[in-house]
Each structure stands twice: as structure tokens, then as C-alpha cells.
Amino acid sequence: MENSKTTYTPNQENLTEETLDFEVYHYCDESGKPVFLTKEVYKKEKRIVFFPYSVDQKEGSLKPKRIRKLELIGWDSIEDIPHDFRVTGKYGLKTLRARHFFAGLYLKYRDVFNYTIGINIPNSFKQDHISLNWADLKTILNEIYKEKMTYDKEKAFLINKGLGRINSTITLSKRYMPSGELGRFLGKYDSFAKVNQEDLNALSSILDLIPPSIIKTTSNFINSKEQINKVYIEDVIKQFEKLSSSSKDNEKQWQAFFEKNAWILSHLFPYEVILRKKEAYVGGKTIDNDQGRILDFLFENGFKDNYALLETKTHKKDLFKKIAYRKPDVFPMSDELSAGITQCLDQKDNFIKDFGRNNPSFDPKCILVIGTKSMLTDSQRRCFELLRSSQKNVEIVTFDEILMKLKGLLKVVSIDNMS
């Protein structure tokens, strides 16, 4: 720093030291005394270091920003550095997109206060310092900017639309999706696991508006709602078969699969049903607040005046014991099947007792999904059908029977698509 006799302009940044290699700047107080290091410029190194700060104009006090040190490497002069980090007389985060980015960074790296941004430098995330390649950072900042522009347009449209509902003099112009906008929107997501029929209908309506010439020249383009359904069902079948090939007793995985594709279970009912709740509490707690019954899936019919209880096991559960009870062809049911039936009856009993008064229920239907029928011998299969047909309170469905339903549905969709 130059000697103390040098006079500086008060209440602003001043050049306090200069050589052929570097410049040093300080903010000076009302008496012209340097009180805060604000900037260092290394001319031969293409390196500029900012120490962001803010000044309270009323009190005249100065304090550092959240970023204590911001180093920029690769630019010849201050005038050349990106506008995200400079405006006349002030340095730091100067654009909204830069502030949004660093606000997100702060949440993940709360103890980092020193940052370096440079041309042709590697990205580095250390405990006390983060370095960012400008090309990579610029891509992120551009995406943030585009997103904000989209949001601003959407906000303006919604305001205008709302005013149009209460003011007949305001008319709305049609909105058209710009070229490439759909791809940019879909690119925000890594998975579409929660796609439902409403989403498929929306996508189908978009496809109906696309000129046929574009559809013909685009490879692997899905051009109808039926084709979408076909691809979707094929994917579900692949997931089902993958779970069915597991050698493990993967009950949690099956429950997660059916939760995501609850429409499959709804096909087990002869009437419309709606998934009311997964892992529903159906009563049965003791005075000590334990031993409550948890059901895998609770369905409600379309009229909302009755319920259905559905319990899922796994494809690995045995349906019948290996040794005949009466030779040669009378087999006893397995412990897993017997326990599954009893569990369903117990859940139904508790559901009626605990919720029957306040929730309409007329002898709620019970379904148990368990085992694989194709693994049975001919004699066991006969015993299974005899047992199943005699069960009036619990309907038993096997996993391979559900798979057959899915494949039958795919066949119907495929035939409709060809017609």
C-alpha cells in the first residue's frame, strides 16, 4: 500500500498500489482512509481477484458479501470478464442468473467462501474452495436464464388469462410452442415413472397437431395414442417379468411396482375401483397402541360406497406342499397360502369393526395375490382350483395370471393399432 500521506477519495474504491505487474484497490472511509481490500489485478497472469462488499449508505458502514473471495482467471482485463460478475464500479454477482446459481451452491457447500472461475481450468470442489470452468458454468447460467424467461412469459399469460375471466374487453392470443421447446422441457426430467393416463392423453393431443410430413421423416416417432399405450404396456410387462425372474423373496419390490402401476391391480375387479391408500391401517390396535393391521392396498369402488382389501405376497411363495396328503393327488395348501388367507380375513374383520360405522362397507371384497400357478403339478393345480372356487371370502390370484392379463391387454391394443 502507498504511504499514509497519499490522499484518497472518501467513501469509494481507490487504487492504492500499482506496479508493472499488479494493481491493488481498497475502499476508503469518509476520511479517505483505506479500510477494506476490494480488488487485486495481476496484469501478466490474466488474474483478477475480487473481494465483494456492500456499503450501508445511511450509516456508512462496510461489510463483506457471502462470497469473500472471487478469483477470475483467463481474461485480459476487467472490461473483458463476464457481465455476470461486474458492473461499473461494483463487482461480485451482478446478474439474477448468477445469484440464483450461487444461492443453490451455498445450500450444498455452506462452509465455502472462496471461489475461482476461469477459462480452461478444471472444475474442483474442495472443503474450503470451489473452482469452476467458465464454459461449464456459462451453460448452466444460460439454462437458468431460459427457465426464468419461460417463467416470466407463463406468469404474464396467467395474469392476462385471469383478467380475461373477469374483464370481457381483454382477449387472449393463442400460444404456440416454439421449435425445440418440447425437447427442452422434457430434458428437465430424468425419469417418467409417474406417467398416468392424463399425461398420455396430453401427449396424444400434441401428436395429433404435428404435420404428417414431420412424423414420416422422424425415426421411431410415436404417432398415436394407441402406440403410446402399446409401448407403455410392453415396458410394464418387461418390469413384471424381471421381478418374476428374481430368485429372492422380493415383497417390497413387488409392492413398489404395484404402487406405481396400481391400474394393474384394478383389473382384478369386475367393477371400477380407485386406489384409496397404500399400506393402509385397518384397525386392530390393542389398548397399548400396538398390533395394528397394515394392509398393502385399500381400494374404493367408483360409487365410493364400498371397499376392497388387497394383500400382495411374492411369486416365490408356495401354493401347496410338495407331499400329498392323500396319495396320489390330494395336496394340502402351503403354510404361506394358509397364512395369507387368514391374514386377509383378519384384516377384513378389523376393518369392518374399526371403520364400518363411518365408512360404507358391504362385505368388503378381499383379494390375495400370491405364488405362481405354472409351478404347480397337474394334481396340485386341480387342488388349487378346487380350493379357490370354494373360497367365498378371499379371492386368490397368482402372479403369472396377472402377467397373462397384461399380455392379453397388450394383444388387444396391438390389434386395435393395426386396424
CA–CA distances in Å: residue 83 to residues 95, 343, 358: 8, 67, 64
pLDDT at 264: 83
Whether residue 137 is predicted with pLDDT greater than 50 in this model: the reply is yes
Phi, psi for 288 (deg, rounded to 5): -90, 10
Mean pLDDT over 281-295 rounds to: 44
In this predicted model, what pLDDT tens digit does every residue of 310-343 receive, in sequence order?
888 999 999 999 898 888 889 999 999 999 999 9
Whether residue 123 is predicted with pLDDT greater than 80 in this model: the reply is yes
Residue among 312, 412, 414, 323 at smallest CA distance from 369: 312
pLDDT at 363: 74
Residue 113 burial class via C-beta count within 10 angstroms: exposed 0-12, middle 13-18, buried 19 and up: middle
Q: Which residue has the higher pLDDT, 109 or 279?
A: 109
Between 135-144, 157-166, 399-408, the lowest mean confidence (pLDDT) is in 157-166
* Percent above pLDDT 90 for the chain: 33
- Whether residue 370 contacts residue 319, with contact meaning beta carbons closer than 8 Å, is answered with yes
Residue among 181, 98, 103 at smallest CA distance from 141: 98
Confidence of residue 284 (pLDDT cuts 50, 70, 90): very low
pLDDT at 355: 67
Please give the sequence-ordered ranges of beta strands (E in DSSP) within 313-361, or none if there are none: none
pLDDT at 220: 43
- Whether residue 116 contacts residue 128, with contact meaning beta carbons closer than 8 Å, is answered with no
Q: Is 108 helix (H, G, I), strand (E, B) or coil?
A: helix
Whether residue 21 is predicted with pLDDT greater than 80 in this model: the reply is yes
In this predicted model, what pLDDT tens digit does every residue of 46-78 receive, in sequence order?
999 999 888 877 776 788 888 899 999 999 888
pLDDT at 42: 94
pLDDT at 89: 55
Between 179-193, 201-215, 273-287, the lowest mean confidence (pLDDT) is in 273-287
pLDDT at 377: 93
- Whether residue 130 contacts residue 115, with contact meaning beta carbons closer than 8 Å, is answered with yes
Cell, residue 138? 456459462
Contacts of 94 (CB under 8 A, 6+ apart): 83, 84, 85, 86, 87
In this predicted model, what pLDDT tens digit does every residue of 263-272 receive, in sequence order?
787 777 655 5
Q: What is the mean pLDDT of the chain?
A: 80
pLDDT at 72: 93
Whether omega for the bond prior to residue 82 falls within 30 degrees of 0, making it cis, is: no
pLDDT at 290: 42
Mean pLDDT over 299-309 rounds to: 65
* Percent above pLDDT 70 for the chain: 78
**Distance of alpha carbon 95 from alpha carbon 92, whole angstroms:** 9
In this predicted model, what pLDDT tens digit does every residue of 203-259 receive, in sequence order?
766 766 666 555 544 444 444 455 667 777 888 899 999 999 988 888 889 988 888
pLDDT at 222: 45
Residue among 362, 381, 374 at smallest CA distance from 399: 374
Confidence of residue 291 (pLDDT cuts 50, 70, 90): very low
Does the pTM surpass 0.75? The reply is no
pLDDT at 74: 93
